[in-house]
Amino acid sequence: MPRTPLPLLLALGALALCSCGKGGARTVTVSASSQGAGTSSTPNGGAKTNSTPGGSTTQPDEASPNGKKPSQGRALAFARAVNLTADDVPGFTPSEKHDDTSAREKRLESEMVKCAGTSAGLHAGSGGAAGESKALAEQSSKDFQLKHGVIDFSVSSQVSVQNDAGEARKALQAIRSAHVRDCFSHFLKLLFEGEHLKGAKVGPVSIQAGVPPAPGTTGGFGWRITASFFVRGVKVPVYLDFLGFVDGPAEVTLLSSGLIRPFPAEVQQQLFSLLLSRAKGHKL
């Protein structure tokens, strides 16, 4: 297998949450389980969530100071100011992100996007299909990892600035959609079935969704993806959490993962609050 399950899930999750747009695509039958939005807490018990997909945090979109679309330079400056840095996660080791997506993975990515009915661009480096519209600016932090014995945690952030708040709202609606989650579950299942895991057997993939509070923004979103691998009869769970929010044309996402155990909820909450504070303090 060219990549370990944890980085693979991170890459796929980034794809799902950076794909946004219109619904109405074909329906698929999934063998992986999924749960609809409306959980009372985020998947790992971190930031509290609202009880309905719409939540109670929706506020009017705020445009750039002059009421016009932000420039690309301003959007990139915003992304740099918001994204996580090494100082935010002491004890974690930073590493660069690499795009080593295989031809088969790119094909399945394209099929997932078609299934989800998306029309906006994928995250940079994911090998998006031709014809997808591009965000004004997209930037990710480094991957920050903590490995010690059986502990294997990873965390990073992503900022995407769309051309206008309407595009970002479509992204938020898509991320909260049960249809998009079903497509992604199906995509993961197909991908894992084609991987060679050196004797490991892949269990079901589940996705839980919730709405973390993001006061003063358009709204928040949250996913927990759980996958299991059975190695010689021993279950090895993998947890991947996505928490984020949309603020005007900006989409900000916190990606955290854990092997054996979920990423610590208290640390996740602190980092999510930090991203929210930075986004509110650096208006586009």
Query: What are the average pLDDT values for consecutive 10-residue runs of the chain, which has 284 residues?
Result: 50 54 31 31 45 37 55 94 97 79 78 67 35 75 91 93 90 86 80 63 83 92 87 83 94 93 96 97 86
Q: Is the dihedral of CA 200, 157, 100, 137 positive or negative?
A: positive
Q: Do 246 and 135 form a contact (C-beta atoms < 8 A)?
A: no
Residues of the domain holding 156:
5-281
Angstrom distance (rounded) from CA 179 to CA 182? 5
Q: How many CB atoms lie within 10 A of CB 164?
A: 16
Give CA separation, 204 vs 23, 34, 136, 183, 225, in Å: 25, 10, 36, 14, 11
Question: In what helix (H) or strand (E) does residue 145 lie, and over which residues does it extend?
Answer: strand 143-148
Angstrom distance (rounded) from CA 157 to CA 83? 6
Cα 132 to its chain centre, rounded Å, is: 19
What pLDDT score does 195 carry?
Answer: 59
Beta-bridge mates of residue 207: 34, 225
Angstrom distance (rounded) from CA 215 to CA 197? 43
What pLDDT score does 27 carry?
Answer: 26
Match 């109405």 to its residue by tokens. Answer: 24
Q: Which two tokens stand for residue 77?
A: 């400056």
Q: Do 179 and 209 form a contact (C-beta atoms < 8 A)?
A: no
Terminal Cα-to-Cα distance of the chain (whole angstroms): 42
pTM: 0.74
Q: How many CB atoms lie within 10 A of CB 259?
A: 20
Match 């059975």 to its residue by tokens. Answer: 230
What pLDDT score does 13 carry?
Answer: 56
Cα 245 to its chain centre, rounded Å, is: 11
Structural domain total, the chain: 1
DSSP 86: G
